[in-house]
Amino acid sequence: MRKRVLTLVALAVLPFLAAAGPASAAERPDCSPAAETSAAAASVKVWLAGDSTMSNPQSSCPVGWGSQFDPLFSDDVTVVNSAVAGRSIQTWLYESNVKNTKDSTGECVVSPRTFHQRWLNMLNPTTGMKAGDYLMIQFGINDGSRDCPRHVGGARYKELLGMMAKAAKDRGVTPIFLTPVSAIRCSGSTAVGTRGFLTETFDAGRAGGVTVIDLHKLSYTLYNTLKLCPNNGDYTRGPVGAFFCNDHTHFEAAGARQIAGVVAKALRDQRIPLSGYLR
C-alpha cells in the first residue's frame, strides 16, 4: 500500500517538473565567452599625455615616471602611456603641423589643424578612451621655449588643456591635470622649483572643473625629503646620481619609480576616485 502511495505522488509531481523545464538563462550563471569579454571591457584605462619626464624609456636613462605607474594599480587598471620626449602640449597634439614661424599673436603657426595620430588614437570611438577611464595630462617643460615649434603662450596653453579635458569629459572620461615635474636645482641645501606654466595649469583646471595635482611642488618637496641638496652637480654618483640621469632633469628608473609613487599618493591624498584601484 505504501509503495502504491509513493508511486501516485511521483506521478502527480512529474507534470509540474516537466512544465518548469530547465533553469532560465537569468537563473543560470553566465560563464559564456561573451560574459568574460564584457567583464574585461569593464576594466579601467589610465591614458597619459606628456613629455620625456613621463614617457616610456628608449634606453636605460631617461625613464619617465609614467612607465613606472602601471605596477602601482590592481589588475583592473591598464596604463596607456602616450607621453613623448621633447613635446610641448601643441607639438604633442599637432606633430609635424606646427611650423617654425609665429603668427601676429606670437604663437607658432599650426597648419593644417589636424591632430597627430596619438591623439586620434585616444579619441577613437572603438579603441580609444571610454567612460570610466582617466586622462592624465602633464606638459609645461618644453612649452616655455621661445622658439617654434615648441613655443606655447600662456593663453594657448590653457586653451589646449581645456580642449583635451572637454574631449575626455564628452566621452565620460575623467581628466586630471598635473603641473610639470621639477628639475633638481639647489639654493644652498634646499631644492627649489624650476618650472613655469603653474598658474596656467591651475587656471585651466578651475575653468574646466578639472582636478590638478601639483606635481611640481610635490617633486621638489621629495627632493628635499631625500636630501638631494646640496650637490656639486655630479649626477653620476651619490643619492642625486641614483635619482637623476647625468643631467638635472631626467630620471633614472629608481627616480622615476619615486615620482610615480608621489603621483599615486596625491591620488589618495586628494581623494581622486582612481585611488581606489591602487594596490
> For residues 184 and 261, what is the distance between their CA atoms, to the nearest angstrom?
18
Is the model's pLDDT at 61 over the cut of 60?
Answer: yes
Residues 6+ apart with CB under 8 A from 119: 49, 92, 93, 164
pLDDT digits (tens, 9 = 90+) for 191-227: 999 999 999 999 999 999 999 999 999 999 999 999 9
**Confidence at 57, pLDDT banded by 50, 70, 90:** very high
pLDDT digits (tens, 9 = 90+) for 145-172: 999 999 999 999 999 999 999 999 999 9
Measured distance CA(72)–CA(11) in Å, rounded: 62
H helix runs in the chain, sequence order: 2-20, 33-41, 89-94, 117-123, 154-170, 198-208, 215-225, 238-243, 253-269
Neighbours of 245 (CB within 10 A): 18
What pLDDT shows up at residue 199? 98
Least confident of 31-40, 57-66, 135-144, 224-233: 31-40
> What does the pLDDT average to over 41-66?
93
pLDDT value of position 233: 87
Helices 253-269 and 215-225 cross at an angle (nearest 10°) of 120
Is residue 245's pLDDT more than 70?
yes
DSSP H or E stretch at residue 190: strand 190-191
